[in-house]
Structure 1
Amino acid sequence: MLSRPGLALYLVPRELPFILIGGAIGALGAWSAAPMVATAVTAFLVAFQVKVKILTKPRS
């Protein structure tokens, strides 16, 4: 019996202060010379809790 790997991503919003800090970091890209992609990724990681889980299910 072979296993079939899968990937599960869980995105959970953090509490209110972290969401506000993430929004402020995201706005930093518009106000300064910081690259917008870098500030957007940082803001996302601050505002959301990201969990990655590898799943294996037996094939039937």
Structure 2
Amino acid sequence: MPVLVITGTGTEVGKTVTTAAVAAAALAAGRSVAVLKAAQTGVRPDEPGDAEEVVRLA
């Protein structure tokens, strides 16, 4: 199973959108996809985080 890591050096540089696009392309190609956000800061418990945004976009 291949693993793809998407990383960036700052906030608001497009990591979440890129992750969603790659996930959507993999799903469209019939691949199995799992997205893991190892850590996230600055989001309250009642707010959606980046993982939820990836699901919404993909």
Please state which structure has a larger fraction of its residues in strand: 1
More helix by proportion, 1 or 2? 1
> Do both proteins adopt the same fold according to a TM-score greater than 0.5, normalized to the shorter chain?
no
TM-score range, shorter chain: 0.3 to 0.5
Q: What TM-score do the two structures reach when normalised by structure 1?
A: 0.32
Which of structures 1 and 2 has the larger relative contact order (alpha carbons within 8 angstroms, sep 6+)? 1
Point out the structure with max Rg over C-alpha. Answer: 1
